[in-house]
Amino acid sequence: MSTTEPLLSACAGGGAGGNDGEEAGKKSRQSSSKGRRVCIDEALSSYAGEFGRWQLRHFVAVSAAWALEALHTMVIIFADREPPTSCAGGGWEWAGGGAAASSSTVAEWGLVCGERYKVGLAQAVFFAGCMIGAGVFGHLSDSFLGRKGSLQVVCILNAAFGLLTAASPNYWAYAALRLLTGFSTGSVGVLAFVLATEPVGPARRGAAGMSTFYFFSGGIAALAGVAALFPRSWRLLYVVTSIPSLVFAVAVVPFVSESPRWYLVRRRPDDALRVIRAIAATNGRAVPEDLTLKLDDEDEDDEEEQGKEGGAGMAKAAAAAASSGSIVDVFRSRTTRVRLVLSVLINLLTSVVYYGLSLNVVNLKTNLYVTVVVNSLAEMPAYLLTALLLDRFGRKPLAIGTMLLSGIFCTAGSLIPGAGIMRVARMACGVVGIFGMAATYNLLFIYTAELFPTVVRNAALGCTAQATQMGAIVAPLVVMLGERLPFAVFGASGIVGGLLVFYLPETMNKPLYDTMAGLEEGEKSVLK
């Protein structure tokens, strides 16, 4: 089956049945007399182009925000690093001749031995802030603020809170500012992902979505380089990793387009069509003058029926309901409710493993800068592999396979002692583990986005992002359990997560629905 076959049937028929010859003829005559009304997926695939120069430029500009998220998230690896320490019964001392007091928060405030828990606490509260912010800005981006406006706001807040963190007078101020930075950081990736992929056509959306994480891994690698330039001042490190967010908010975001899908569900079809025409013009394509856009649950004669009933007020009420979906609407539908619960659990387990293995580099006792770069580069083949296999095997089998791969190798790592050459073997198991889970982490963005309609997509993604941050809160606490036990936790999480994916539906070659009604009708058509 081609990608466009289910797409066109959903757009043309509203996702429901009724495809007999008489009804089709009636709609064809109405279309010819009033102009062609299509949903956005069909407008992109048939007229504007699915991934041309416009989408490429837009995609790169917006996805750069992932690198900013990497800077704000992973800076703790270097800012909170612990110099070699010797703990004695009456206190502690630096091993190997001491450490610069300003080289890290640990060195400046003595967060070692009995105070070591504060390092994990500061990292955990950052991810707690991410969890809160993901829900807040997920809702705002689906409502009046939009994808573009929300992205600009969080980037400005990131820069402000990051710069204030550099001036923290003590540990508790530092922890509080990390909480606030997390609040604005938690939704950056989700907002960038949705804004970057919603203008992409259905045949190219999977590959585009899988490519966003290259920017995140690239940001981690860049962070290691920046941190190597400022090894003696954690405060200066926060300054140089915060300024890029301000530059992005001022110099990039104003020049990217708002999502045409958001315009349409907010009942601004003229703005949505303006974006589609801009895409077509840049891509060297043309959009018919009589073309208009519709949501996927609208029939051709909706307006005519409303006119006969004289129900202008009813039409406005229906429009408001269609464009203001919230997480409550997700739970009202059994279809989306089950999907959300499963997605939350799977994302949480994935996050425990991904962030746990990423933060666990401090326990490997190797060159920290080199190790971080190697780990970030090791993730990139995973993204390439999943992008190549995504439309061949589907989202569901690929998610199951990558999670189980990670889980099995992490479990093996927990059985290997950490002495001599066996330490290298365990590190190799960790590399395969992060390879598999990085692929899953990336895949879940496109998979989860396709499970929910446009009207609640960011709200649902905000929920799963909150689950991701809950997993990230747990991750640093797991890392503190020792050398082998964390691998056992990561292994169990990967295996259980892989088994849960079995209960999700496949979304490959299915349309990206706009409304709850469109999704429900589309799923009924598939079952029929």
Residue of 212, 180, 211 lying closest to 66 (CA atoms): 212
Tell me how far apart the alpha carbons of residues 165 and 174 are, in angstroms, rounded to a whole number. Answer: 6
Write down the domain spans for the chain: 37-85+99-297, 329-517
Q: Amino acid letter at 299? A: D
Confidence band for 332, pLDDT divided at 50, 70 and 90:
confident
Q: Is the pLDDT of residue 318 over 50?
A: no
Lowest-confidence pick of 217-221, 264-268, 420-424: 420-424
Is it the case that residue 150 has pLDDT exceeding 70? yes
Contact 142, 459 (CB under 8 A): yes
Rounded mean pLDDT, 186-197 = 89
- Residues 263, 273 contacting (CB under 8 angstroms): no
Evaluate whether 58 touches 196 at the Cβ level (below 8 Å): yes
Q: What are 85-142's pLDDT values in tens digits?
A: 666 855 556 655 555 667 888 888 888 777 888 888 898 899 889 888 887 887 888 8
* pLDDT bracket for residue 368 (50, 70, 90): confident
Q: Where are the alpha helices (DSSP H) in 104-187?
A: 105-109, 117-142, 146-165, 171-185
Domains 37-85+99-297 and 329-517 share a fold: yes
CATH code for the domain defined by 37-85+99-297: 1.20.1250.20
**CA nearest 342: which of 435, 445, 448?**
448
| pLDDT surpasses 70 at 309 | no
pLDDT bucket at 386, cuts 50 / 70 / 90? confident
Copy the structure tokens of residue 170: 């003590």
Residue 38, SS3?
Answer: strand
Which pLDDT score is estimated for 280?
93
Phi, then psi, of 37 in degrees rounded to 5: -110, 120
In angstroms, rounded to a whole number, what is the distance separating the alpha carbons of residues 273 and 38? 11
Provide CATH code, domain 329-517.
Answer: 1.20.1250.20
Average pLDDT score over the chain: 81
- pTM for the predicted model, two decimal places: 0.76
User: 25: part of which helix (H) or strand (E)?
Assistant: helix 21-34
Average pLDDT (282-295) is 89
Higher pLDDT: 252 or 100? It is 252
Question: What is the structure's pLDDT at 209?
Answer: 79
